[in-house]
Structure 1
Amino acid sequence: MELTMTDIAPADPAMASDVAPLIRALRPGLTQAGFMEFAAEAHAQGLVFTAAHGDGRCVAVAAHRVLATSRGRLLFVDDLVTAPGVRSGGIGARLMSELEERARRAGCTRIELDSGVSNHGAHRFYHAGRMAIVALHFARDLSDGR
């Protein structure tokens, strides 16, 4: 499948029609309105939404940003999702290659991302792409008021 990579801004109608459905499939608790709010706020903070279009539709999306950290400049992937009907067809790998090229052009020393501990399919994908587990990500929920 021929792919076209396009960066989508929050004001672009494709954000609601193409990007939102895929990100919301990855994050089922996110409403359409909640997604659009998130997209606008995160885009203002430097988040880029790259959509992969093929066969006349959006087949994958990566949300990513370049960060300057004490460990060096890196491209952090917040979300990466391929449409369920085309998974395991190489689209995710092509999107990751696009991100790698962008990272190199931006002077990044590496690509980083977080993956849920139970998402074994994603782990296989990332390992196949020569990514290594280099850290544990810790979180504390503050919504309970404690």
Structure 2
Amino acid sequence: MSAEGEEQGPASYDSRCIFCRITNNQEKGSELLHSDEDLTCFRDIRPGAPHHYLVVPKKHVGNCKTLTNEHVPLVQNMIEVGKNVLQKNHVADVEDIRLGFHWPPFCSIGHLHLHVLAPASQLGFLSRMIYRINSYWFITGTDQLLERLQANTATS
């Protein structure tokens, strides 16, 4: 493994990025609920629902605006992992969940991450605003993100 802070390939790791450090087990106190070759999942430090997880690529990937059509399988895999983590944590009502991404400039971390929240019916007032379905700042589901990716590709 390279020294901390060194690049491990093009844009694959950023030592200044908290999510890069968490996915590389360099942050104390971060329990990984899922970890495979491509993705990790852990609890959000400011939960908006009883179950609030973040699914994060292990390689440093920028926010939603940096994605292209080539990232579609990654996004789909992130959603699948999020649903699997909910299932492992005994969330039975898959209709009462919210999955989504903050759209820049409304991202607090510049590393792609999927918010996985359940039960959505238990979101508080502020969380209902922050994680509002298909709003200007929070996009839910792959369909909404795919539409934006295709629009970005068409205008490039």
Higher strand share: 1
Q: Which has the higher contact order (CA 8 A, sep 6+)?
A: 2
Query: Which TM-score band applies after superposition, normalised by the shorter structure?
Result: 0.3 to 0.5
TM-score by length of 2: 0.36
TM-score by length of 1: 0.37
